[in-house]
């Protein structure tokens, strides 16, 4: 079993498709929806997916065929170490504690594994060290 | 035990000086006692690295051919104040670039300190003695005659922590404050912060040589909104009280300690590193310098109250603030710092090293800062009421 994070982006015409149902039923995946939004331009779904590596691969193919843009999230947010002053402004902002203060050296640690790409830290970082990696 | 600044400088020159940071000295005084520790320790170094909006730099560009008396100046499209002599200007940290709220005077200052070239545009009406009407060129620290910071308000002694009781996120100079008391932000290096360690300014005054932005600076004056009438606990004011006006050459500063900040919804500010050495003249000075985060308190105020009279919700110690969470109305609320404790520590350590290496001598104040000062408010008044 492997765990991966994906951002699914879909156009308004397929918003009514029960995508998650298919992922669970047809590919036997455990889905944890981290963020979902539907706007006039379409929708975005951020999910953590757990399942067999082969099943995940097939599910991605299924999504691509269904005109869903799938991006795997690895290090979705970058922390620019040359900009970061380790003030810790981001610490109380991050909803999943991907950003924490290492109190032995008073440095901010960023755990990309925990990040759900919510973007809360981006405009909360005064020296501008946190950026979306796109 | 009595010691003079001259005696300390003698020890610095001979390489015998004993220096500790304001953090290192806490356990030392606890284990050795004030009396013994005061005999050993000559200097305690402090440091802080936080947003200091009231900062800026005076620049002299040199004269063009033919010369111009600049009446409007911009640096990378950030307006600078030039209502002084012909080619002098002051670039303030919070001044914003036209049509861009993410780049401002603080960025210009950081870029200058980083050695970058800055686009200078100036216009004038022209005169008999200064005929030129405009100029568009590039300047840098190596082309300018003078470039020195003059900061009206730095190194605040203490500062209120912020929270937000409202239902929407607030974007403030204290950072992003989440709705429904979602977080608490604070901005002081606490036990490392310069004016926390000499709370009545016995050793710090006009002319005191300090660490400023990585280089050397001096205390120029009392800072704006300097006040002494603030309630104290353990000898330390429980809110914004004293602060310093500082001056120092941009040349010699480092972008590690001069960093532009963007606070969306508020604007641009400058994070600046300030470190002050405290000469241990007697036991009382050391006792004050050994203050710890457990003994220093800050009020938490609600920034959704749009008034200058924000009543503190409660007072909490810096030990609590720095632990990562504080208790508010029976609920645990996460905390964030706007000032960097890591950098504050680095500054105190760097200053210690410079003193130990004989590169930084201590000074006696030329004059003391006010012992008794309160601040007034701005009211809408008539001409008669204002005098």
pLDDT above 80 (res A133): no
Say yes or no for a CB contact (<8 Å) between B175 and A89.
Answer: yes
Spatial separation of the C-alpha atoms in residues B76 and B109, rounded to whole Å: 11
Say yes or no for a CB contact (<8 Å) between A124 and B175.
Answer: yes
Reported as a single tens digit per residue, the pLDDT across B335-368 is 999 999 999 999 999 999 999 999 999 999 999 9
Quote the minimal CA–CA distance from A119 to chain B in Å.
13
Which of A85, A103, A123 is opposite residue B264, by nearest beta carbon? A123
Is residue B185 less than 8 Å (CB to CB) from chain A?
yes
In chain B, residues with a C-beta closer than 8 Å to the C-beta of A86 are 340-343
Lowest mean pLDDT among A14-18, B35-39, B216-220, B245-249: A14-18
Is residue A84 less than 8 Å (CB to CB) from chain B?
no
Is residue B175 less than 8 Å (CB to CB) from chain A?
yes
Quote the minimal CA–CA distance from B263 to chain A in Å.
5
In chain A, residues with a C-beta closer than 8 Å to the C-beta of B172 are none
Which of A93, A107, A126 is opposite residue B342, by nearest beta carbon? A107
Say which residues have a Cβ less than 8 Å from residue B349's Cβ, sequence separation at least 6: B21, B45, B47
How many CA atoms are closer than 13 Å to the CA of B106, on its beta-carbon side?
27
For B174-181, what is the mean pLDDT?
96
Say which residues have a Cβ less than 8 Å from residue B298's Cβ, sequence separation at least 6: B158, B159, B160, B161, B186, B188, B238, B239, B315, B316, B318, B321
Reported as a single tens digit per residue, the pLDDT across B284-313 is 999 999 999 999 999 999 999 999 989 999
pLDDT above 90 (res B4): yes
Q: Quick one: A128 exposed, middle or buried, by C-beta within 10 A (0-12, 13-18, 19+)?
A: middle
pLDDT above 80 (res B100): no
Geometric angle at alpha carbon A108, from A102 and A113, rounded to 5°: 95
For A2-10, what is the mean pLDDT?
88
For B48-77, what is the mean pLDDT?
98
Longest alpha-carbon distance in chain B: 73
Residue B37 pLDDT:
98
Helices (H), B24-170: 25-32, 34-40, 105-113
Reported as a single tens digit per residue, the pLDDT across B129-157 is 999 999 999 999 999 999 999 999 999 99
Residue B363 pLDDT:
98
CA proximity to A31, closest of A54, A6, A66: A6
Residue A115 pLDDT:
87
Lowest mean pLDDT among A88-92, A111-115, B38-42: A111-115
Residue spans per domain, chain B:
5-52+151-368, 62-144
For A91-117, what is the mean pLDDT?
93
CA proximity to A109, closest of B73, B324, B76, B192: B324
What is the pLDDT of chain A when averaged over all its residues? 90
pLDDT above 80 (res B106): yes
Residue spans per domain, chain A:
2-72, 75-134
For B251-261, what is the mean pLDDT?
98
- Which positions of B are catalytic? 129
Give the three-state DSSP class for B73: strand
In chain A, residues with a C-beta closer than 8 Å to the C-beta of B269 are 126
Domain A75-134 -> CATH class: alpha beta
Is residue B82 less than 8 Å (CB to CB) from chain A?
no
For B12-34, what is the mean pLDDT?
98
Reported as a single tens digit per residue, the pLDDT across B374-384 is 999 999 999 99
Query: In the structure, what pLDDT confidence band is assigned to residue A112 with cuts at 50, 70 and 90?
Result: confident
Residue A14 pLDDT:
80
Say how far residue B106 (Cα) sits from the centre of its chain. Answer: 13
Is residue B269 less than 8 Å (CB to CB) from chain A?
yes
Say how far residue B127 (Cα) sits from the centre of its chain. Answer: 40
pLDDT above 70 (res A134): no
% of chain B residues with pLDDT over 70: 100
**Radius of gyration (Cα) for chain A, nearest Å?**
17
Spatial separation of the C-alpha atoms in residues A45 and A52, rounded to whole Å: 21
- Residue A13 has phi, psi (to 5 degrees) of -70, -20
Give the three-state DSSP class for B252: coil
Can you tell me the ipTM of this complex? Answer: 0.94
Give the three-state DSSP class for B103: coil
Quote the minimal CA–CA distance from B338 to chain A in Å.
5
Reported as a single tens digit per residue, the pLDDT across A31-85 is 999 888 888 888 888 888 999 999 999 999 999 888 889 988 877 789 999 999 9
CATH node for A2-72: 3.30.70.260
């Amino acid at each position: 079993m492997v765990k991966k994070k994906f951002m699914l982006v879909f156009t308004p015409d397929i918003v009514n498709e029960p995508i998650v149902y298919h992922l669970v039923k047809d590919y036997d995946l455990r889905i944890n929806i981290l963020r979902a939004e539907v706007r006039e331009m379409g929708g975005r779904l951020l999910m953590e997916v757990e399942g067999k590596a082969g099943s995940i691969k097939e599910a991605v193919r299924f999504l691509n065929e269904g005109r869903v843009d799938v991006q795997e999230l690895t290090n979705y947010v970058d922390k620019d170490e040359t900009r970061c002053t380790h003030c810790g402004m981001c610490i109380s902002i991050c909803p999943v504690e991907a950003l924490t203060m290492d109190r032995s050296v008073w440095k901010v640690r960023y755990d990309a594994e925990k990040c759900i790409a919510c973007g809360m830290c981006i405009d909360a970082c005064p020296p501008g060290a946190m950026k979306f990696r796109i | 035990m009595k010691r003079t600044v001259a005696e300390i400088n003698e020890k610095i020159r001979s390489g015998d000086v004993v220096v500790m940071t304001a953090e290192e000295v806490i356990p030392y005084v606890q284990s050795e006692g004030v009396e013994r520790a005061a005999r050993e320790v000559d200097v305690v170094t402090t440091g802080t690295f936080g947003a200091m909006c009231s900062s800026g730099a005076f620049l002299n560009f040199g004269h063009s051919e033919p010369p111009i008396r600049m009446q409007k100046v911009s640096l990378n499209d950030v307006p600078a104040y030039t209502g002084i002599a012909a080619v002098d200007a002051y670039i303030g940290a919070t001044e914003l670039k036209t049509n861009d709220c993410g780049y401002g005077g603080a960025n210009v200052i950081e870029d200058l300190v980083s050695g970058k070239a800055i686009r200078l545009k100036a216009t004038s009406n022209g005169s008999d003695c200064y005929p030129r009407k405009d100029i568009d060129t590039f300047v840098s620290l190596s082309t300018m005659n003078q470039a020195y910071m003059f900061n009206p308000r730095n190194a605040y002694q203490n500062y209120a922590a912020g929270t937000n009781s409202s239902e929407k996120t607030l974007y403030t100079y204290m950072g992003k404050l989440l709705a429904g008391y979602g977080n608490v932000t604070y901005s002081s290096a606490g036990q490392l912060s310069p004016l926390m360690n000499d709370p009545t300014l016995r050793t710090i005054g006009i002319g005191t040589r300090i660490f400023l932005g990585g280089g050397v600076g001096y205390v120029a004056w009392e800072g704006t909104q300097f006040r002494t009438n603030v309630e104290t606990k353990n000898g330390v004011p429980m809110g914004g009280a004293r602060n310093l006006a500082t001056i120092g050459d941009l040349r010699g500063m480092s972008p590690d300690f001069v960093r532009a900040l963007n606070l969306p919804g508020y604007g641009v500010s400058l994070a600046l590193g300030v470190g002050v050495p405290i000469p241990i003249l007697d036991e009382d000075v050391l006792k004050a310098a050994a203050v710890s985060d457990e003994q220093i308190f800050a009020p938490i105020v609600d920034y959704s109250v749009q008034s200058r009279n924000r009543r503190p919700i409660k007072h909490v110690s810096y030990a609590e603030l720095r632990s990562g969470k504080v208790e508010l109305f029976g609920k645990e609320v996460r905390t964030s710092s706007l000032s960097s404790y890591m950098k504050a520590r680095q500054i105190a350590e760097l200053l210690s090293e410079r003193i130990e290496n004989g590169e930084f001598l201590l000074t006696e104040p030329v004059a003391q800062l006010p012992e008794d000062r309160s601040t007034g408010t701005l009211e809408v008044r008539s001409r008669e009421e204002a005098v």
